[in-house]
Structure 1
Amino acid sequence: MGWHLTEDIDDFLARADDFLRSKPALHTSPLTRLEKLRKQEEAGTLFGRLEQDGEVRAICYRRPSQRLLLTAVTPDQADALAAELAGRPLSGVTAEDDTATAFAEAWQRRTDVVPVPGVRVRLHRLGTLTPPEPMPEGHAVDALDRAEIIRWCSEFATAVGQAPFADERSWAASNFADKRFTFWAADGPVAMAGATAMVAGMVRVDPVYTPARFRGRGYAGAVTFAVSQAALAAGATDVVLYTDPANVTSNALYRRLGYVPIAAFTGYDFR
């Protein structure tokens, strides 16, 4: 058993793709991000796979200036990876809670860098889709012009503390550009939901956004229902989304629609 590191994404995916597709819901982030990296290679990205008896048991990858993303491993496996990566620049790690903590502690032991807990998210998988009750007035709309989509994405980015998009070029380079957007319209667009392209039968609903002036009217639930229903109609076997565990309102909303929590993730920054 051992970790194998490479900067060759084709070599990496040739060995790791079956593992990633074996659990498409849990592996939603690496599946979508690695698909983008396969199409648009990024210099300096490091990929790793953990093999045992000729089978891949876990993977990781680190983009320049980004946290290491790591699938579930034991504390010993996390320590072995920390040993392999020691001496390389690493800004942090994101993984399921226990794995993130195990790697952060191993990294501190080997580098004396203090890990600082950061972002926490909860992953949900759709069970039985249930329409919101009551359904608000309006209807789902897929077609808005690109300028309008960019404006909405910029407004969402600002709302979550990110930089808005200066122009179409900066938006096209972002993770937003790969998604399909649906809007709920009630005398104009009032809520937005994005969805990733289907990979291994998995679609992730991301992001969901309602401007403050339209909140409290059920629009987020309606547009999330519409996007989820469209994913199922297209043949998705896993429809997932992330939430902020501290946001009681949104977590309750998604449970009513049929989403069930399946994992929690933590990001640590290494300062």
Structure 2
Amino acid sequence: MELRFFDDPVAFLDVAGDVLAEQPVLSTVIAGVAERIATQREAGIAWPEGLPCWFVVVLDGDDVVGTAMRTAPFGTYPAYLMPMPEDAVHSLSKALLDRDEPVLGANGALPAVQTFCEDMAEGTGKTARVERHTRLFELGDLVEPRPVAGRLRPATLDEQDLVASWYEAFMADADEQAGREPGASPHEAPTDEELGRRIESGRVFVWVDEDDVPVNVTVATAPTYGVSRIGPVYTPKEQRGRGLASAAVYAVSALLRQSGERPCLFTDQANPTSNKIYEAIGYRRLVDMANLRVE
């Protein structure tokens, strides 16, 4: 096994892009992050000093058998792993430990992420545990939900503070719905500048009621290899139970598909509500993943 580490996402995609493009839904996170960082650097937006930012390709001869990255700017800066053979995972773990870079958390495909965190736990005298089980869905046949009053529209910059507060509330409420302590899961909230760029790009949507008051936010990423990822999806507690999330995700999914994009999304397996509503409008399970901590 040969490992090639890259600080430059463009160089990483030059080597791994063809393989990632063969499974564009499965690679939505790593390919999307690489393209986003590359775009930001081209625009003169520097990566925050002191935060890890690398990508790695695992080669078996000339064949790319695994990819991973460490770009998460939150928590213990977890890695993200795509599917790869067990010996490729061990090679990656050993390389990081040998260069004195213990990674105390990872997200991504099972069983690779489990093996990686067990290696890190053994190498640091700690214990690996699953923090959250997630599931990746891809849209199949889109099924219209029951009608809901209101309509979908792009968010405006005047609504940025509201959208930012809903981003902050999203993960705490998701933890609570899944039976975890609110705030137990570290997560990335976009900076004000990044959120402004997302709103200006027209890919942050709000569902508004009859008075044009926002009651839900639903976000879609820019497409990578033709695939767009929906999330977060957030409805304030006082507005829940009315089918707003179903209506908003349906409407955003329809827009993406009309643009020739392939919609996908992640759910928390411990949250039966989100899994149920997305399956009801046509999303189909693709692969199970997990977030693990080493502590």
Whether TM-score is above 0.5 comes out as: yes
Distance in 1 between residues matched to 2:167 and 2:37, nearest whole Å: 24
- Would you say 1:67 and 2:78 are equivalent positions? yes
Name the counterpart of 2:139.
Answer: 126
Cα 1:176–1:119 change in 2 (3 A) is farther
Cα deviation 1:131-190 (Å, max 9, x = unaligned): 00x211222222x3213133123223124236xxxxxx9322469837612222222222
SS class of match (1:109): helix
SS class of match (1:194): strand
Gaps of 5+ in 1: 163-168
1:191 to 195, 199, 216: 216
**Which aligned pairs between 1:13-162 and structure 2 lie closer than 5 A?**
13-41=13-41, 42=47, 44-63=52-71, 65-86=76-97, 87-132=100-145, 134-142=146-154, 144-161=155-172
Distance in 1 between residues matched to 2:260 and 2:147, nearest whole Å: 24
Question: In 1, are the aligned partners of 2:135 and 2:285 still within 8 Å (CA)?
Answer: yes
2:274 to 244, 250, 254: 250
Name the counterpart of 1:240.
Answer: 264
Distance in 2 between residues matched to 1:103 and 1:263, nearest whole Å: 18
SS class of match (2:293): strand
- Would you say 1:260 and 2:284 are equivalent positions? yes
- Measured after TM superposition, the shift of residue 89 of structure 1 is 3.7
Report the more deviating stretch, 5-14 or 250-259: 5-14
Question: In 2, are the aligned partners of 1:126 and 1:239 still within 8 Å (CA)?
Answer: yes
**Which aligned pairs between 1:169-188 and structure 2 lie closer than 5 A?**
170-173=191-194, 177=198, 180-187=203-210, 188=213
Question: In 1, are the aligned partners of 2:164 and 2:195 still within 8 Å (CA)?
Answer: no
Name the counterpart of 1:4.
Answer: 4
Name the counterpart of 1:165.
Answer: none
- Measured after TM superposition, the shift of residue 57 of structure 1 is 1.9
Name the counterpart of 1:217.
Answer: 242
Name the counterpart of 2:44.
Answer: none
Matched letter for residue 232 of structure 1: R
Divergent runs of 4+, >4 A:
none
Distance in 2 between residues matched to 1:15 and 1:174, nearest whole Å: 30
Question: In 2, are the aligned partners of 1:153 and 1:176 still within 8 Å (CA)?
Answer: no
Cα deviation 1:183-202 (Å, max 9, x = unaligned): 22222222221111111110
Distance in 1 between residues matched to 2:251 and 2:25, nearest whole Å: 20
SS class of match (1:51): strand
SS class of match (2:242): coil
**RMSD value over aligned CA atoms?**
2.1
Q: TM-score, normalised by structure 2?
A: 0.82
Cα 1:37–1:126 change in 2 (3 A) is same
Cα 1:38–1:53 change in 2 (3 A) is same
> Between the two proteins, what is the percent identity of the paired residues?
26
- Measured after TM superposition, the shift of residue 74 of structure 1 is 2.1
Question: In 1, are the aligned partners of 2:218 and 2:248 still within 8 Å (CA)?
Answer: yes
Q: How many residues align?
A: 262
Name the counterpart of 2:187.
Answer: none
Q: TM-score, normalised by structure 1?
A: 0.89
SS class of match (2:129): strand
SS class of match (1:37): helix
